[in-house]
A = this chain, B = another copy of it.
Protein backbone atom coordinates (compact mmCIF):
# COMPACT_ATOMS: atom_id res chain seq x y z
CA UNK A 1 0.00 0.00 0.00
CA UNK A 2 2.47 2.57 1.19
CA UNK A 3 4.98 2.80 -1.60
CA UNK A 4 7.38 4.72 0.54
CA UNK A 5 7.64 2.08 3.23
CA UNK A 6 10.85 0.68 1.80
CA UNK A 7 12.44 4.04 2.17
CA UNK A 8 11.99 4.28 5.93
CA UNK A 9 10.79 7.82 5.56
CA UNK A 10 12.34 10.18 7.97
CA UNK A 11 15.44 8.11 8.45
CA UNK A 12 17.41 10.12 5.94
CA UNK A 13 16.73 13.22 7.96
CA UNK A 14 18.11 11.70 11.14
CA UNK A 15 21.33 10.76 9.38
CA UNK A 16 21.83 14.35 8.55
CA UNK A 17 24.59 14.88 11.06
CA UNK A 18 26.41 11.65 10.24
CA UNK A 19 28.66 12.77 7.47
CA UNK A 20 30.45 9.53 6.65
CA UNK A 21 27.68 7.68 4.84
CA UNK A 22 27.33 8.42 1.17
CA UNK A 23 23.85 9.85 1.50
CA UNK A 24 24.93 12.84 -0.51
CA UNK A 25 25.27 12.62 -4.25
CA UNK A 26 28.27 13.73 -6.24
CA UNK A 27 27.43 17.18 -7.43
CA UNK A 28 28.79 18.74 -10.60
CA UNK A 29 28.12 21.72 -12.79
CA UNK A 30 28.06 21.46 -16.58
CA UNK A 31 28.08 24.28 -19.08
CA UNK A 32 26.43 24.60 -22.45
CA UNK A 33 28.38 27.45 -24.01
CA UNK A 34 26.89 28.72 -27.24
CA UNK A 35 28.38 31.04 -29.77
CA UNK A 36 27.87 31.99 -33.39
CA UNK A 37 30.80 31.23 -35.70
CA UNK A 38 30.77 31.21 -39.47
CA UNK A 39 27.01 31.64 -39.67
CA UNK A 40 26.42 28.64 -37.42
CA UNK A 41 25.29 28.09 -33.87
CA UNK A 42 28.07 26.20 -32.12
CA UNK A 43 28.63 24.68 -28.69
CA UNK A 44 31.85 24.19 -26.77
CA UNK A 45 32.87 20.58 -26.12
CA UNK A 46 35.83 19.10 -24.28
CA UNK A 47 37.39 15.69 -24.70
CA UNK A 48 37.32 13.73 -21.47
CA UNK A 49 40.78 12.99 -20.13
CA UNK A 50 39.71 10.45 -17.55
CA UNK A 51 37.61 7.36 -17.19
CA UNK A 52 34.76 6.73 -17.43
CA UNK A 53 34.01 7.73 -21.01
CA UNK A 54 37.66 8.60 -21.48
CA UNK A 55 38.25 10.53 -24.72
CA UNK A 56 34.54 10.99 -25.38
CA UNK A 57 33.37 14.48 -26.11
CA UNK A 58 31.41 16.09 -23.29
CA UNK A 59 30.09 19.39 -22.04
CA UNK A 60 32.67 21.30 -20.02
CA UNK A 61 32.09 21.11 -16.30
CA UNK A 62 33.23 19.41 -13.17
CA UNK A 63 32.77 18.83 -9.49
CA UNK A 64 31.51 21.52 -7.22
CA UNK A 65 34.27 22.56 -4.85
CA UNK A 66 32.77 23.27 -1.47
CA UNK A 67 35.90 25.02 -0.27
CA UNK A 68 35.98 27.68 -2.93
CA UNK A 69 32.57 27.81 -4.56
CA UNK A 70 30.24 29.92 -2.46
CA UNK A 71 27.27 28.87 -4.59
CA UNK A 72 26.35 26.77 -7.59
CA UNK A 73 26.32 29.88 -9.71
CA UNK A 74 29.80 30.82 -8.48
CA UNK A 75 30.98 27.37 -9.48
CA UNK A 76 29.49 27.86 -12.95
CA UNK A 77 31.26 31.21 -13.26
CA UNK A 78 34.54 29.61 -12.20
CA UNK A 79 34.18 26.81 -14.76
CA UNK A 80 33.34 29.35 -17.41
CA UNK A 81 36.56 31.21 -16.71
CA UNK A 82 38.56 27.98 -16.68
CA UNK A 83 37.11 26.68 -19.93
CA UNK A 84 36.36 29.76 -21.98
CA UNK A 85 38.42 32.46 -20.31
CA UNK A 86 35.40 34.70 -20.04
CA UNK A 87 34.20 36.52 -16.98
CA UNK A 88 30.81 38.02 -17.66
CA UNK A 89 28.79 36.71 -20.54
CA UNK A 90 25.16 35.74 -20.32
CA UNK A 91 24.79 32.85 -17.90
CA UNK A 92 21.52 31.23 -16.96
CA UNK A 93 20.66 28.13 -15.01
CA UNK A 94 19.10 25.53 -17.28
CA UNK A 95 18.09 22.53 -15.23
CA UNK A 96 19.40 19.97 -12.77
CA UNK A 97 19.79 16.38 -13.80
CA UNK A 98 20.24 13.82 -11.06
CA UNK A 99 19.80 10.09 -10.97
CA UNK A 100 21.34 6.80 -10.04
CA UNK A 101 22.22 5.85 -13.61
CA UNK A 102 23.44 8.91 -15.40
CA UNK A 103 27.02 8.15 -14.41
CA UNK A 104 28.40 4.61 -13.93
CA UNK A 105 30.14 5.73 -10.74
CA UNK A 106 26.82 6.03 -8.97
CA UNK A 107 24.31 8.65 -7.86
CA UNK A 108 25.29 12.00 -9.32
CA UNK A 109 23.56 15.29 -9.89
CA UNK A 110 24.61 18.05 -12.21
CA UNK A 111 23.24 21.53 -12.58
CA UNK A 112 23.52 22.64 -16.17
CA UNK A 113 23.96 26.27 -17.10
CA UNK A 114 23.82 27.78 -20.50
CA UNK A 115 26.01 30.65 -21.55
CA UNK A 116 25.96 32.90 -24.58
CA UNK A 117 28.91 34.85 -25.84
CA UNK A 118 30.41 36.41 -28.91
CA UNK A 119 33.04 34.11 -30.35
CA UNK A 120 35.56 36.98 -30.29
CA UNK A 121 35.45 37.04 -26.49
CA UNK A 122 36.31 33.40 -25.99
CA UNK A 123 39.84 32.50 -24.92
CA UNK A 124 39.96 28.73 -24.89
CA UNK A 125 41.59 27.42 -21.74
CA UNK A 126 45.33 26.86 -21.90
CA UNK A 127 45.15 23.52 -20.12
CA UNK A 128 45.96 20.70 -22.45
CA UNK A 129 42.39 19.54 -22.66
CA UNK A 130 41.18 18.95 -26.16
CA UNK A 131 38.54 21.56 -26.80
CA UNK A 132 36.34 22.03 -29.83
CA UNK A 133 33.46 24.08 -31.15
CA UNK A 134 30.79 21.77 -32.56
CA UNK A 135 28.03 23.08 -34.80
CA UNK A 136 24.44 22.44 -33.75
CA UNK A 137 22.49 20.35 -36.19
CA UNK A 138 18.81 20.04 -35.36
CA UNK A 139 18.89 19.86 -31.57
CA UNK A 140 22.34 18.42 -31.01
CA UNK A 141 25.79 17.76 -32.40
CA UNK A 142 26.94 15.10 -34.81
CA UNK A 143 29.18 13.16 -32.45
CA UNK A 144 28.13 11.10 -29.43
CA UNK A 145 28.42 12.79 -26.07
CA UNK A 146 29.28 11.28 -22.71
CA UNK A 147 26.67 10.48 -20.07
CA UNK A 148 23.37 12.33 -20.61
CA UNK A 149 25.04 15.34 -22.17
CA UNK A 150 23.21 14.98 -25.49
CA UNK A 151 19.99 15.26 -23.55
CA UNK A 152 21.19 18.31 -21.65
CA UNK A 153 22.31 19.91 -24.88
CA UNK A 154 18.94 19.28 -26.51
CA UNK A 155 17.23 20.94 -23.56
CA UNK A 156 19.57 23.91 -23.86
CA UNK A 157 18.94 24.31 -27.58
CA UNK A 158 15.20 24.17 -26.99
CA UNK A 159 15.46 26.75 -24.22
CA UNK A 160 17.58 29.03 -26.35
CA UNK A 161 15.15 28.85 -29.26
CA UNK A 162 12.13 29.44 -27.09
CA UNK A 163 13.75 32.33 -25.23
CA UNK A 164 14.57 34.03 -28.51
CA UNK A 165 10.87 34.42 -29.01
CA UNK A 166 10.24 36.54 -25.97
CA UNK A 167 13.54 37.97 -24.79
CA UNK A 168 16.53 39.88 -26.07
CA UNK A 169 19.17 37.29 -25.24
CA UNK A 170 20.49 36.92 -28.78
CA UNK A 171 22.38 40.19 -28.36
CA UNK A 172 24.78 38.35 -26.06
CA UNK A 173 25.93 36.26 -28.99
CA UNK A 174 27.12 39.37 -30.79
CA UNK A 175 29.99 41.73 -30.03
CA UNK A 176 29.18 44.88 -28.10
CA UNK A 177 28.47 46.83 -31.27
CA UNK A 178 26.42 45.23 -33.97
CA UNK A 179 24.00 46.03 -36.78
CA UNK A 180 20.36 45.12 -37.11
CA UNK A 181 20.98 42.84 -40.09
CA UNK A 182 23.55 40.98 -37.98
CA UNK A 183 21.05 40.64 -35.17
CA UNK A 184 18.39 39.40 -37.53
CA UNK A 185 20.80 36.89 -39.06
CA UNK A 186 21.58 35.61 -35.56
CA UNK A 187 17.91 34.96 -35.00
CA UNK A 188 17.62 33.24 -38.34
CA UNK A 189 20.62 31.02 -37.69
CA UNK A 190 19.29 29.86 -34.35
CA UNK A 191 15.67 29.49 -35.40
CA UNK A 192 16.73 28.03 -38.75
CA UNK A 193 14.15 30.10 -40.50
CA UNK A 194 14.20 33.33 -42.49
CA UNK A 195 12.42 36.26 -40.85
CA UNK A 196 10.68 39.23 -42.36
CA UNK A 197 12.86 42.32 -42.29
CA UNK A 198 10.30 45.01 -41.65
CA UNK A 199 8.45 43.07 -38.95
CA UNK A 200 11.71 42.25 -37.23
CA UNK A 201 12.83 45.85 -37.20
CA UNK A 202 9.43 47.08 -36.08
CA UNK A 203 9.58 44.87 -33.01
CA UNK A 204 13.15 45.65 -32.16
CA UNK A 205 12.30 49.33 -32.37
CA UNK A 206 9.23 48.87 -30.18
CA UNK A 207 11.18 47.07 -27.47
CA UNK A 208 13.50 50.06 -27.29
CA UNK A 209 16.40 48.02 -25.95
CA UNK A 210 19.03 49.11 -28.42
CA UNK A 211 20.67 52.44 -28.78
CA UNK A 212 22.06 53.80 -32.00
CA UNK A 213 25.74 54.67 -31.93
CA UNK A 214 25.65 58.05 -33.65
CA UNK A 215 27.69 58.24 -36.79
CA UNK A 216 29.14 54.77 -36.46
CA UNK A 217 28.51 52.53 -39.44
CA UNK A 218 29.73 49.11 -40.44
CA UNK A 219 31.01 48.69 -43.96
CA UNK A 220 30.50 45.73 -46.21
CA UNK A 221 29.30 45.19 -49.70
CA UNK A 222 26.39 47.50 -50.31
CA UNK A 223 25.12 50.28 -48.10
CA UNK A 224 26.84 50.53 -44.70
CA UNK A 225 24.72 49.56 -41.73
CA UNK A 226 24.05 51.53 -38.57
CA UNK A 227 25.75 50.18 -35.45
CA UNK A 228 23.77 49.63 -32.27
CA UNK A 229 24.57 48.76 -28.70
CA UNK A 230 22.44 46.86 -26.20
CA UNK A 231 21.03 49.45 -23.87
CA UNK A 232 20.70 47.48 -20.63
CA UNK A 233 20.16 44.06 -19.22
CA UNK A 234 16.73 44.31 -17.73
CA UNK A 235 13.98 41.84 -18.34
CA UNK A 236 11.91 43.71 -20.87
CA UNK A 237 11.22 41.71 -23.95
CA UNK A 238 11.41 42.30 -27.62
CA UNK A 239 8.11 40.60 -28.05
CA UNK A 240 5.84 41.70 -25.29
CA UNK A 241 2.54 40.30 -26.41
CA UNK A 242 0.92 37.84 -24.10
CA UNK A 243 -2.31 36.93 -22.46
CA UNK A 244 -2.22 40.07 -20.37
CA UNK A 245 -3.28 41.88 -23.47
CA UNK A 246 -6.75 40.62 -22.65
CA UNK A 247 -6.65 42.77 -19.59
CA UNK A 248 -9.39 45.32 -19.45
Minimum Cβ distance to chain B for residue A247 (Å):
5
* CB of A143 closer than 8 Å to a CB of B: no
Minimum Cβ distance to chain B for residue A103 (Å):
10
0/1 string, A1-19, CB within 8 A of B gives 1? 0011011010111011001
Whether A195 contacts B248 by the Cβ 8 Å rule is: yes
Minimum Cβ distance to chain B for residue A15 (Å):
8
* CB of A173 closer than 8 Å to a CB of B: no
Main secondary structure of the interface of A (DSSP, over half): mixed
Of A31-39, A67-75, A134-142, A219-227, the stretch lying at the interface with chain B is: A67-75
Among candidates B16, B71, B82, B238, residue contacting A26 with C-beta atoms closer than 8 Å: B16
Task: Please count how many residues in chain A sit with their CB below 8 Å of the partner chain's CB atoms.
Answer: 68
Known contacts A7-B67, A24-B24, A70-B100; A50 and B13 CB within 8 A of each other: yes
Whether B66 contacts A107 by the Cβ 8 Å rule is: yes
Whether B7 contacts A65 by the Cβ 8 Å rule is: yes
CA distance A247 to B161 in the complex (A): 14
21 examples of A-B residue contacts, CB within 8 angstroms: A4-B81, A9-B78, A9-B82, A12-B64, A12-B65, A23-B64, A23-B66, A25-B27, A25-B64, A66-B107, A71-B98, A72-B98, A72-B109, A109-B111, A165-B243, A191-B244, A191-B247, A195-B246, A196-B246, A196-B247, A203-B246
Closest 6 CB pairs of A and B: A7-B68, A71-B99, A165-B242, A24-B24, A72-B98, A195-B246
